[in-house]
Amino acid sequence: MTEQLIKVDGIELCTESFGRKEDPAILLIMGATASMIWWEDEFCRRLADAGRFVIRYDNRDVGQSMNDEPGNPQYGLEDMADDAIRVLDAYGIGRAHMAGMSLGGLLTLMVTVKYPERVLSDTLIMTSSFRDPSLPEMEEKVAAFFASADQVNWENEQEVLNFSVQKWNLLRGSKHAPDEDKVRRLAARELQRTRNWTASMFNHGLLTGGEDLIARVPDIRVPALVIHGTEDPIIPYAHGESLAREIPGTRLLTLDGTGHELHSGDWDAMLDAIIRHTDGIQKSESRSVK
């Protein structure tokens, strides 16, 4: 794997790649407040071993990518969608498979609507278009937990690590036992490589925009795979079912007992589905530079 800091249109983003550049590319977009390392190294390596050129990156305000002032982000959701294309441009990739988790899934939808000529397929994980107001909202216990974030001293390493462990325990489903040691190691790695924890934790929650793009989600015509856990407390499972109906021909992979998580216990099912989904889709075009 190779980490690379790219700068396109004045936007600085930290990226990392796995595998051979000659293979079909898949771009992984992580969710709000989380850096690219939550697409765990082994997950990425297994995708690469299956013949994919895997790229993950830090969104703005997380990890090693550029930061705006905490509480005052000078960008919106559509800008973050544009960042995905900036990453592809920096790597010289014309078309790629896209995979997004949570907010990353929403960004994937926006990218696909705005830049259909750049997208080979979509994998949409624990996400939603949020077009249907009748769908269930985030569970109250999760909303209350996130509301407590302003009580954390983000300059205190132990408080930050404890908050991260509590968050991931809250988001996991009943299928998976807690793995506090692993989560704490990942959280410590994230703490070490994050430029500004306050911006990282709060700026994404202030973002708006892209409504006109989301309104066109039913127009998406690339092959789409939706993956969703039945015990997701942030974006309940009904959102995944709804999203699978919104995009014609979409396949839904249901993860029983899984929460809002990329748990290693689900990797076999997820990776098998992603590899099958992306296999053979215009392979020759993923390396063509626009």
- Which CATH architecture fits 2-285? 3-Layer(aba) Sandwich (3.40)
- Residue at token pair 């969104």: 59
Give me 170's structure tokens: 């809250």
Q: What is the pLDDT of residue 177?
A: 86
Biggest alpha carbon distance in the chain?
51
Model pLDDT, residue 288: 44
Q: How far, CA to CA in Å, does 231 sit from each of 72, 125, 132, 176, 285?
A: 33, 13, 19, 11, 37
**Tokens linked to 226:** 């939706």
In the prediction, which pLDDT does 1 show? 65
The C-alpha atoms of residue 131 and residue 167 are separated, in whole angstroms, by 26
Q: Any bridge partners for residue 14, and if so which?
A: 5
Tokens of 281: 């889709």
Q: Are 283 and 275 in contact (CB under 8 A)?
A: no
Tens-level pLDDT at each residue, the chain (290 residues): 678 999 999 999 999 999 999 999 999 999 999 999 999 999 999 999 999 999 999 999 999 999 889 899 999 999 999 999 999 999 999 999 999 999 999 999 999 999 999 999 999 999 999 999 999 999 999 999 999 988 999 889 899 899 988 998 999 999 998 888 899 999 999 988 988 888 888 889 889 899 999 999 999 999 999 999 999 999 999 999 999 999 999 999 999 999 999 999 999 999 999 999 999 775 535 444 43
* H-state helical runs in 72-102: 77-90
CA distance linking residue 244 with residue 226, whole number of Å: 6
DSSP-derived 3-state class of residue 257: coil
